[in-house]
Each structure stands twice: as C-alpha cells, then as structure tokens.
Amino acid sequence: MFEAAELGNRVSKEEYRTRVPRLRAELLEVQRQLREVATSPVIIVFAGVDGAGKGETVNLLNTWMDPRWIVTRAFDEPSDEERERPEYWRFWRGLPPKGRVGLFLSSWYSRPVLDRAYRRIDTATFDARLSRIVEFEKTLADDGALILKFWMHLGKRAQKKRLKTLEQDALTRWRVTKLQWKHWRMYERFVAAAEQAIRRTSTGDAPWTIIEGLDERHYFLAVGGVVRDAIRARLVDVARPARKVPSPRKRALSPPADAAADARARGDARQPTIVERLDMSQKIEKQAFANQLEKYQGRLNRLQRKAHETGASTILVFEGWDAAGKGGAIRRVTAALDARAYQVIPIAAPTDEERAHHYLWRFWRHLSRAGRVTIFDRSWYGRVLVERVERFASPAEWLRAYAEINQFEEQLVEHGIVLVKYWLHITKDEQLRRFKERERIAFKRWKLTAEDWRNRQNWDVYERAVNDMVERTSTRMAPWTLVEANDKYFARIKVLREACDRLEAAFS
C-alpha cells in the first residue's frame, strides 16, 4: 500500500516559489466561499509516521489560509475530565461548525493504531474500533461534512534519517524523543496497523490520501492542492440547483407528511401502535402515592450516592405528549437528589450555534462528569418525532437518525452510563382535559400555547412516529420504558421505580 509513497518525490525551490502564491490565493478564495455558503464543515485528519510532516503541514495551512476560520485540535492522552465521559465526547466537542475548517492531529485514529501496534488489542477488537470510526465519519458525512484524511508517510530508512536530522538542529532537537525512536524500532508493527486501518476506513465519504513525507515542498503542495480541489468540488455540489424545500416556518404550517396518512388516503387498514396497547386505567390512590413516593425517593437517593462514589453516571431521558406530566415526574426525581449531583437540560429549538453542527453535537456536549445525573427534558429523539412530523428534517435525515441514535446510546452504555428512557403516554381525551385545566388556572396558563393545540391535530401522525421510534430504538442496551401517565401518581411512581431498578441492576 505504501510503495507509491516511497518514490523520492521532490519539488525544486523554483517550482515551489512559482506555485505557492497561486495556491495560497486559491485556498483563501475557497475558504471564503465555504464560509459564505456555510452548509458544510471541513474536517481534515492528519496521521502518519513520526517525522513525516504532520505538524508542519497543519502549521502551514494555518499560515496559508485565514486562521480565524480554522479550528485546530491535537488530542493527547485523555484528561481526567475526558476519561469520565465516553471516548468520542472530546472528538464531538472539537468538531468545527459549518463553514469552517477543522485540522485534527492525533485524532480518533491514534489510540486504536497505537494499541494495535503495541499488541494491547487483538485483531477483532481493532476491527471493532475501526468500525466505530467508520460509523462516526459516516454520521458526519451524511450531515454534510467534507472529510479529508492524509496519511503522511516515510519509509523506515527515510524516517531514521529525518529523526537524526531533527536531532542535529538545536531548534528542532526537542521534537525527537526516546518514544519516537522506540516507535521507529516498531516501524513494521505500526505500518501493518496503519495499513489495516486505512483499508478498513477509506470510504467514499471519508477517503484517505497517502502523501510522501520525504520533501516538505512536495507534501505542502500536495496537501494544499487536495484541500483546494475537494472544497471546490463541494462548493460546486452546493451550487447545483436543488428541489426547493419550504422554510421551517412554512413547513410547520403545512400538513405533516407521513406514511400512515398516505395509507389512510388509499383506504388501507390502520395498524395498531405500541402505545395503544397500554393499560391506561392504571392508577394509585393519593395516600398510597405518598407512601410509595417516600419509599422510592429514599431508595433513589441512596443509589445515587453510591453511584457518585463509584463514578457511575446516569442519564434520564423524558419524552412524551404535551401535558403528559414530564415536568412533574422530573421534579419528583430531582427532589430525591443532591442539587450538586444533577443537571436538567430542557431541549427547545436549536440555537444558531447548534444548527451549525450535527444535531447530536449539542447532546454530546451536555454529558456530565462521572457520578452525576443528567436529565433531558426532551432529547435527541426530536429528530424522529417533531422534526419528522413537521418536516424540519427530510425523510433521509430522520430515517438514518435511528441508526445514529442507537450508535450514540451504545457508546453511552458501553462507557458505563446508566441510560433510562421514558415515554410518558396519555390518551387524547386526557390531554384535552389537561389543556382545558391549564386554560382555567392562571399559574398553569403559560404552559399552553397555540403550538400545543396545533400538534394535537396531528395526533395520529405523531403516534405513528412514536411507534416507529420505540420499535427501532428500544434495544437491549437502551430499552424504552413506556409510562401509562393518565394518572399522574401512577406515572411518577413508575418513573422513580424504574430509575431505582436500573441503578440497582448496574451495581449487581
């Protein structure tokens, strides 16, 4: 695989001086256009053997392009803060927004390749970690990210010569360490791991380009040219006329699109949904509720203190109909917890900053440190619920979101996070009763909006979306808890009991 990058390619000083001014101007121009269009982030990953020019190339791109619109990230050993969260937390946080360029050194490839070269993991484990990388990059590419990956290569003899040259110069001696010489002696292992990684992860969405690192003028021009051409091609794609999509405001006012509605129009038989089979008559009397509330809140407090001591984090996700009692259930949970140990994240329409990233970005960045509780009042499931029904997301976007969400939750659970997902279900008649009650009571009136009434008109379509959500994302690792919430007392106790049971199971 690497033979073509060991040919001794060189560029003369004269040719370099001739080509650089034009290349720099072209890079600045495509960067300007990228920023104006702001539909894609550009993610550029640098990997390769020590001494092959990775750092120098990153520095040069920051010089040739406008550094104000470049995000540069270099990931070393994870900090205590990073170790307390899933591995990919720090990578998600470092992603550039749309319209900007991200340069990544020591990226998500570093640890898997290093572990394989040191034989800390076997081939199957290595392949599983590469599969996660493919999933991660596909998730970003599907959302519009342009991903470029450069493997900066040197043959073993050329690498030895480069390291010795750096050692002989007082200004560059600091860059050569005992560890780099150790890795040079392990050259064959590193190259074998790299070859497997490149073959497994070089996809149409995120291809690798192998660059010979013998002559810096050569690799500066080669990398700069690939970056320029790739951004140009992306800008051409963006400029092509596309089917006109209504603005979010207009889409929200138009009838929701849904397969169930199409089926009804054809006269097809309506398929029952999962939530329709719930026993909505279940209830708890007031005194029994008071007794059980004290019992489960005490139990939850003890379990959470144990979780905090052991560093086990908890995430509670609350979804449900408008007026289903999510807020009331959350308050009964937080009443059992130390205020320093939890945070409640209310999810509304995304901000401009959040819209400039993948929709999962804002949820990744809210993950707490070890031993704490994060409660999401609505969540990433908005992509397959409100965004699906109201056409804020295209069918392609919300259909692929099921897999993206499952992958996200898999990483949370693998890290040891206790993830509990609740759907609070009420009947349509009960929702109407609660809406009218909110209209009558002054301190509840603010909760009721015109949007709530409009959403109610789309009840059947939302119900089908809920059915699909549960069907496709209730996994063994992260199952849904369906809460019969017509009776608020019953719902609150079920929420508390499930949280206790799941925490207790995590410690058993």
**The pLDDT value given to residue 264:** 44
Neighbour order of strands in the sheet with 480-484: 342-346, 373-377, 314-320, 418-425, 480-484
Sorted by sequence, the CB contacts under 8 Å of residue 500 that are 6+ apart come out as 296, 299, 300, 303
Helix, strand, coil % over all residues of the chain, rounded to 5: 60, 10, 30
> 402 or 266: which carries more pLDDT confidence?
402
pLDDT category of residue 272 using cuts at 50, 70 and 90: confident
Please give the Cα distance from 42 to 96 (Å, whole number): 7
Quick one: DSSP state of residue 393? S
Angle at 459 between CA 453 and CA 464, to 5 degrees: 150
**The pLDDT value given to residue 427:** 96
Element (H, E) at 263: helix 259-266
Whole-structure pTM value: 0.89
Residue 419 in contact with residue 413, Cβ under 8 Å?
yes
Q: Say yes or no to pLDDT of 248 above 60.
A: no
**Candidate from 129-133, 152-156, 223-227, 270-274 with smallest mean pLDDT:** 270-274
The letter for the amino acid at 64 is: W
What is the end-to-end Cα distance of the chain in Å, rounded? 48
Angle at 110 between CA 104 and CA 115, to 5 degrees: 175
Average model confidence (pLDDT) for the chain?
91
Please give the Cα distance from 61 to 56 (Å, whole number): 9
Q: Say yes or no to pLDDT of 27 above 70.
A: yes
**Cβ-based neighbour number of residue 498 at 10 Å:** 17
- The DSSP code sequence of 49-112 is STTSSHHHHHHHHHHHS-GGGEEEEE--SPPHHHHTS-TTHHHHHTPPPTT-EEEEES-TTHHH
Mean pLDDT of 437-459: 78
Please give the Cα distance from 240 to 245 (Å, whole number): 14
Domains parsed from the chain with CATH numbers: 3-239 (3.40.50.300), 275-507 (3.40.50.300)
Q: What is the pLDDT of residues 112-122, one digit of tens each?
A: 999 999 999 99
Mean pLDDT of 142-158: 95
